[in-house]
Amino acid sequence: MEEIRVGGMYFSLDLSLPLYEQVLEQVRSSIAKGEIALGDKIPSVRELAQALKINPNTVMRAYQELEREQLTETRRGQGTYITSDIAKVDLIRYRVADKAIEEFLSKMTGLGFETPEIDKLLRIKRGEAHE
């Protein structure tokens, strides 16, 4: 999977999974990581579709969802901007973090670890405990 940089955001799309969800997720994560700053303009639907070589409808759907979540706002005739409300971005940061934790836990459970062991391994990793 090729990583594509568009206006500060990074995308890497897997054609075997729905593209809409990936575009949405990757813009959210760019916002959460601060790759794109509060109040910044994001690429137009056409620009992003061109950069990712995907159907503009897919980008449009993802942008509509971001707007619905109030992470972006469209100013008539000017384009789409990231919200300047830090509380909204923080909420997304926690949501992205929550998802990362869930993925981590599911991987650990898959390897046969249970909660006390996982806790211990995390403490060891942070240097708070010894093997």
Partner 1 sequence: MNDTANVAIRAEDVCKSYGSRQAIRNLNMAVPAHSVTAILGPNGAGKSTLMRMITGMETPDTGTFSVLGRKPSWELNRWIAYLPDRAQWYSHHMVEHALEWARTLQPGFNEMRARDLMVTLDLDASMKVEGMSKGEEARLMLALCLARDVPLLVLDEPFSGIDMISRERIVAALIDSFSEREQTVLISTHEIAETESLFDYAVFVDKGVAVLAGDVERMRAERGSLQQVYRQLYG
33 vs 46, beta carbon nearer partner 1 = 46
24 vs 36, beta carbon nearer partner 1 = 24
Residue 20's nearest CA partner among 47, 43, 54 is 54
Which amino acid, residue 6? V
Residue 64's nearest CA partner among 27, 98, 38 is 27
Shortest Cβ 95–partner 1 spacing (Å): 21
Give the interface with partner 1 as residue ranges (CB under 8 A): 13, 15-20, 45-46, 49-50, 52-58
11 vs 66, beta carbon nearer partner 1 = 11
44 vs 93, beta carbon nearer partner 1 = 44
Residue 43's nearest CA partner among 16, 5, 76, 17 is 5
What residues does 9 pair with on adjacent strands? 6
Shortest Cβ 113–partner 1 spacing (Å): 30
Shortest Cβ 128–partner 1 spacing (Å): 41
Close Cβ partners of 86 (under 8 Å, ≥ 6 residues apart): 38
